[in-house]
């Protein structure tokens, strides 16, 4: 159920990492060199809506996920989550606000404390934010375990992460993320390390909780197919910039930006009878320390021309709700 109230509004988010350079050289440089991992991102997510953020490794998508919940400090930008200006929050206020937004990491093995039983792991956010008393907390955890299909819940409560399979662990992580009733969840490649047969279980579970809790969801992934399955809207990212953003069906039916088209063409289709015409670009994603001028994709773009060195990659609304950073393809 998508309605019109925005839960998350991000404007012009920037995260630059400073590069280490020899100190002698630092005197001769006016501006300190930096990696522009995220360079002016704007988007919003409505209640009950999932936005997919798709890109290759090195595109900066993971940095976006961590910056908007201030797990790493953004360099610049505006972040509003649930009508709260996240950027202006001081330490203690931010800590308390964290119950409203959560993150699910890629690696379910590494994201759980090996020395804490999974019941305690999931209960911990409740203790931190002082929700309920001891008995209520345990009941909430058990109830949630059932919801994420860790059954029998009582039996799972005292188990340790290493006793669970990858899919079960990721469900524990999901349970921990939603136990405080957050309004917004970031999923950072949450299904990338899972096997196909398990991945779809976890994807389904995410859709279920998104709908049940009416969550705003930021689904960060390299896999367009998973994004298509779970998201209403998809943003394609390349070298720190969003190059195209549109509703899912619109994006898949009429991809505009050359990079989106290439990304789509590159996904292997499980159907041997389908022989596709392919555009395979040359080369790989350039290093963000040495970015091309103008359009950052032009070094690999099959349609690149001279003018591409001068454009500024701002998003233009080509059709209603469909924005692209390529001025030449409409």
Query: Which residues make up the interface to another protein (CB under 8 A)?
Result: 56-57, 69, 71, 95-99, 102-103, 105, 107, 110-116, 124-125, 128-129, 165, 167-168, 173, 176, 180, 195-201, 203-204, 222-226, 228-229, 252, 262-274, 278, 280-281, 284-285
Here the tokens at position 239 are: 């070298």
| Nearest approach, Cβ of residue 235 and another protein (Å) | 16
155 contacts 167 by C-beta, under 8 angstroms: no
| Nearest approach, Cβ of residue 214 and another protein (Å) | 21
- CA-CA distance, 316 to 245, in Å (whole number)? 10
| Nearest approach, Cβ of residue 126 and another protein (Å) | 10
- CA-CA distance, 23 to 135, in Å (whole number)? 57
Helix orientation angle between 134-147 and 166-178, rounded to the nearest 10 degrees = 130
| Nearest approach, Cβ of residue 30 and another protein (Å) | 27
> Where are the strands (E) in 111-199, listed by range?
184-188
Here the tokens at position 276 are: 């596709």
Query: What kind and span of H or E run contains 211?
Result: helix 196-213
For another protein, which is the closer residue by CB, 4 or 92?
92
| Nearest approach, Cβ of residue 73 and another protein (Å) | 12
Q: Is 224 exposed, middle or buried (0-12, 13-18, 19+ CB in 10 A)?
A: buried
| Nearest approach, Cβ of residue 6 and another protein (Å) | 22
For another protein, which is the closer residue by CB, 80 or 89?
89
For another protein, which is the closer residue by CB, 126 or 308?
126
209 contacts 175 by C-beta, under 8 angstroms: no
* C-alpha dist (Å) from residue 118 to 165, 171, 174, 302: 13, 10, 12, 50
- CA-CA distance, 315 to 209, in Å (whole number)? 32
| Nearest approach, Cβ of residue 139 and another protein (Å) | 19
46 contacts 56 by C-beta, under 8 angstroms: no
Looking at residue 104, what DSSP letter applies? E
């Amino acid at each position: 159920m998508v309605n019109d109230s925005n839960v998350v509004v991000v404007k012009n988010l920037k995260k630059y990492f400073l590069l280490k350079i020899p100190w002698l050289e630092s005197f001769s440089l006016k501006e300190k060199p930096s990696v522009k991992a995220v360079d002016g991102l704007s988007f919003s997510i409505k209640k009950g809506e999932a936005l997919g953020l798709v890109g290759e490794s090195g595109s900066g998508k993971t940095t976006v996920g961590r910056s908007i919940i201030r797990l790493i400090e953004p360099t610049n930008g505006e972040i509003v989550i649930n009508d709260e200006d996240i950027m202006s929050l001081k330490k203690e206020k931010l800590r308390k606000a964290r119950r409203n937004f959560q993150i699910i990491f890629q690696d379910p093995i590494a994201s759980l404390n090996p020395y804490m039983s999974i019941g305690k792991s999931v209960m911990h956010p409740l203790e931190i934010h002082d929700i309920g008393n001891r008995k209520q907390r345990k009941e909430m955890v058990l109830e949630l375990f059932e919801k994420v299909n860790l059954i029998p819940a009582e039996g799972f409560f005292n188990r340790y992460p290493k006793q669970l399979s990858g899919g079960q662990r990721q469900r524990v992580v999901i349970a921990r993320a939603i136990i405080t009733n957050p309004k917004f969840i970031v999923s950072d490649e949450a299904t990338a390390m899972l096997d196909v047969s398990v991945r779809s279980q976890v994807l389904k579970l995410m859709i279920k909780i998104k709908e049940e809790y009416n969550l705003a969801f930021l689904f960060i992934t390299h896999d367009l197919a998973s994004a298509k399955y779970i998201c209403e809207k998809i943003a394609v990212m390349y070298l720190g910039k969003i190059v195209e953003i549109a509703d899912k069906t619109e994006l898949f039916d009429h991809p505009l930006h050359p990079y989106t088209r290439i990304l789509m063409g590159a996904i292997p289709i499980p159907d041997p009878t389908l022989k596709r015409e392919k555009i395979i670009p040359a080369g790989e994603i350039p290093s963000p320390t040495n970015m091309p001028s103008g359009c950052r994709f032009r070094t690999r773009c099959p349609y690149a021309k001279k003018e591409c060195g001068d454009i500024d990659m701002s998003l233009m609304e080509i059709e209603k709700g469909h924005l692209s950073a390529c001025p030449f393809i409409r």
